[in-house]
Amino acid sequence: MGAGFSDQAFIDEGAVIVDNAFKSDIVLKVRPPTDNELKKLEPDSGLISFLYPRVNEQLIQTMSEKHITGFSMNEIPRLSRSQTFDALSSMANIAGYKAVVEAANEFDRAFMGQITAAGRLPPAKVLIIGAGVAGLSSIATAKNLGAQVRCFDTRPATKEQVESLGGTFLTVEMEEDGSGAGGYAKEMSPEFIKKEMELFAKQAKECDVIITTALIPNKPAPKLILKEHVELMKPGSVIVDLASEAGGNCEYTKPGELNNVNGVKVIGYTDFPSRMAAQASSLYGNNISKFI
């Protein structure tokens, strides 16, 4: 019911409702199993999920000991021919949308600018760091809410995509291409990072909302919004850290929590797709149905 589908809807499609789904031969799941769930999985069973094997070494070791065959959805190559299986992109798309909705909910003013008889209301200034799937989804959503949107990405190739959605593409005064393998960004040089920090400091003073989406595969999320940046922001501002599960792009991020830092709300929720469970379930179901 949490995903908006009743038990009867599953029964009508031929499913059998059981008390313990983890006793099945094959278990389909979005999030990696918890320790308690892992104990319930049958030996020699199969698990299709986001497993993140390079960072969840203990999980993989336990699965190996129980002879559980795992299929990690996040390891599918992000190629044109595998787009229908790309659950990473489908979940990131939802997370980017929901990040803006959560930011708007916590922000104490309207995103859309207005000129009324009572006075002028300026549009919210939103900075989005990272123009991947989540970042582009955030740009489109924030623009639709009437915000003034800026975006920074180390990959020059994303500039056209950002501008096509109505965002302003920010750059630093240094030429270095951050394009990495699989559509991700790569680690940048110390010189570039110094310029980047200067840009973020300037934007922190001006922007009302910052949404960060920067990830590097199999490594902790890069720290982009430092404590001094947060302290430059106006009280009432909001940061949404979509990289919180990998440690976060903001130094004040507390994964899974909302952290209030001198009036600046730092959102580190790790369950954005789950907050739109019906949409996430439908898209994820389409992704994994190709394996069944």
The token pair at 203 is 């934007």
- Chain centroid, CA 15 distance in Å: 31
Catalytic positions = 78, 83, 86, 89, 184
Question: What does the alpha-carbon distance between residue 8 and residue 214 come to, in Å, rounded to a whole number?
Answer: 41
Is residue 261 classed exposed, middle or buried when 0-12, 13-18 and 19+ CB atoms within 10 A define those classes? middle
The three-state secondary structure class of 104 is helix
Which residues does residue 116 pair with via DSSP β-bridges, in sequence order?
Answer: 119
Q: How far lies 243's CA from each of 107, 135, 224, 271, 288, in Å?
A: 20, 11, 11, 11, 24
